Amino acid sequence: MKPQMLMAAILALAPMGTAFAAQTSGTITAISKKADTITLSDGKKYTLTEGIEDTNLRVGEKVQLTFAIKGGKAVVSHLTPEK
C-alpha cells in the first residue's frame, strides 16, 4: 500500500474514537443513586449504565467491573461482586 493511501485510511478512521474496554476491581466507598455513580477504593468514580444501577450494591462491597471512557466518564458495562 502506498504511504499516501495508508495515511488517508488512518485519517479516515481517526474520528471513530478510541473506546477501549478496561477492567478494574475494588471496594465500593460511595454510591450516588441520583447520579448513577459509584466510587471505588482507588478514588475513581464510575457511571453505571441502565440495568446495572438497579442492582443491590452496598458500600464496602468488593466488585469487579468492565468500563470504557465515554464523554470523559468511566462508564460501566459489566459489574460483578468479587468472591
Domains and CATH numbers, the chain: 19-81 (2.40.50.320)
Amino acid 83: pLDDT: 76
Amino acid 14: pLDDT: 54
Amino acid 65: pLDDT: 94
In contact, 57 and 63? CB cutoff 8 Å: yes
Neighbours of 41 (CB within 10 A): 12
Report the relative pairing of strands 45-48 and 73-81 from DSSP bridges.
parallel
pLDDT < 50 regions, the chain: none
Amino acid 15: pLDDT: 53
Amino acid 41: pLDDT: 96
Amino acid 68: pLDDT: 94
